[in-house]
Structure 1
Amino acid sequence: MTRLSPASLILAALTLAVAGCSSTPATHFYSLASIAPDAPESPRPAGQGLAVAVGTVTLPAYLDRPQVVTRPGVYAVHLAEFDRWSEPLQDMVPRVIAENLSVLLGSDQIYLSPRRRLPGLAHQIDIAIDRFDLDDQDRVVLAARWDLVERSRDEVASSRRITIIEPAADRSYETIAAAMSKALALLSRDIADGLQAAAATRAKPARGS
């Protein structure tokens, strides 16, 4: 039996270590996209100049991680170790919603959680997301509740629950990110409709005036 010298053993160990490192998959990073300013969704005149705060946006704890999360089954959750978000969803989701509302309402007065009172800032949107992932049927499911808050009285003027299902063409992570972006666009559109309705109600003169 041939015995290897210590130097040979060290060299063999280093070779195995290098081989192991070279076989590690590369990590890919993804982000969510907002509605492009030149998208078919044109600004709606009723919302032009509307000042809105995107306030508290909460996500479930299972999404508080860098990995892209999918559901391969009813009870299973998969974390994609080598497919990750470029920044925390807790930061990315509110920003994308604010950017979407700016396009949908044709307003440059959409703010992220302003701490100070701003002139003309009548409404705040608080959003609680209960689910946001790809299911086992290749559909992105976004379940959320959004509240329209009257900032002058600090009261919830209206509240709405919505579940959005956006099909994904496949299970590639880039496709998943695109479908999640579309789901956020639909949520933003629903919020924009609510904001416009509230603005129209405020604009109506009181009876007898």
Structure 2
Amino acid sequence: MNRVRLPILLLLAGVLGLGGCAARAPIPLYQLDNGSPELPKKNQGVAVLLGPVHVADYLQREALLQRRADGSLVAARDGRWAGSLSADIDQVLLRQLASRLDSQRLVLAPTQPGFTPDIQVLLSISRFDSGPELPAVLEAQWRLLDRNGRLRDSRLVRLEQPHQGTPAAQVEAQSVLLRRLAEQLSIAVQPLATAQASAVASPASEPPKSSQSPSRAHTPDKPRIPMASPVRNDVEVFRF
């Protein structure tokens, strides 16, 4: 009788084990927080083309990477990104720049037909991660091009943000880093946009035209030739 019950008990244990696995809590999914910026209501302001925005290859995955003290990276077991991290980065920067520049005229690269940007922002993010015991770090390079494609500004940046160590706290710290980067970009873009707007509003002045009419225009005096005066001859001739 005991031999019969043993397989049944093993079968029940397996079923209960599968039920326990099925009841396991799902892995949390995270998105970057754009900070709920106040967006401009009017379609005006500086025209900005954001991108291309290049994100390092090691970040092109759903795994929420954790950096260890020795510099190695491992995928978090208790969290991952909800979708594309690159797309999240684009949207956070786009909304933050629109709010800080007070402009609705921002477009993500590639550009749209008929859109001529005043400023193009080229951005390359080489590092964007954190760890339970390490701060969130953002390393990037941005370049600003004017409407003629000339390089007007360039900068390498490294930003750090501390956190409490949990996955949610790390994601919030990374969101803060992106908002800080957008602040730096807006500060760099604003004077360039103002200078270009002034150049368009005040074209090069033409040389002043003469106020005199062509008929009254000054002409150089011709040299005066002295007129010969007749010589009077008072001598009379007498004939006999």
- TM tier, shorter chain? 0.7 to 0.9
Distance 2:142 2:88 in 1: 17
Q: Does 1:49 align with 2:65?
A: no
Q: Does 1:99 align with 2:95?
A: yes
Q: Offset at 1:80?
A: 1.1
Q: 1:27 corresponds to which residue?
A: 27
Q: Does 1:86 align with 2:87?
A: no
Distance 2:46 2:204 in 1: 26
Q: Which amino acid aligns with 1:196?
A: Q
Q: 1:128 corresponds to which residue?
A: 124
Q: 1:11 corresponds to which residue?
A: 12
Deviates more, 1:119-128 or 1:179-188: 119-128
Deviates more, 1:97-106 or 1:152-161: 152-161
Distance 2:133 2:2 in 1: 57
Q: Which of 111, 114, 138 is 2:107 aligned to?
A: 111
Q: Offset at 1:87?
A: 1.9
How many residues align? The count is 199
- Residues 15-59 of structure 1, C-alpha deviation per residue, up to 9 Å, x if partnerless? 22223333x342111111113335xxx98xxxx601111121111
| Cα gap change, 1:140 to 1:90, in 2 (>3 Å) | same
Deviates more, 1:71-80 or 1:51-60: 71-80
Q: Which amino acid aligns with 2:85?
A: L
Q: Which amino acid aligns with 2:36?
A: A
Distance 1:99 1:123 in 2: 16
Looking at secondary structure, tell me which structure has more strand per residue: 1
Q: Does 1:158 align with 2:153?
A: yes
Identity %: 26
- TM-score by length of structure 2 reads 0.72
Q: 1:194 corresponds to which residue?
A: 188
| Cα gap change, 1:50 to 1:17, in 2 (>3 Å) | same
- TM-score by length of structure 1 reads 0.82
| Cα gap change, 1:17 to 1:207, in 2 (>3 Å) | closer
Q: Offset at 1:117?
A: 3.7
Distance 2:25 2:70 in 1: 28
Q: Offset at 1:65?
A: 1.5
Does the residue aligned with 1:18 lie in a helix, a strand or coil? helix
- Contact in 2 for aligned 1:132/1:141 (Cα 8 Å): yes
- Contact in 2 for aligned 1:131/1:141 (Cα 8 Å): yes
RMSD: 2.7
Q: Offset at 1:122?
A: 2.0
- In structure 1, stretches of 5+ residues that fail to align are none
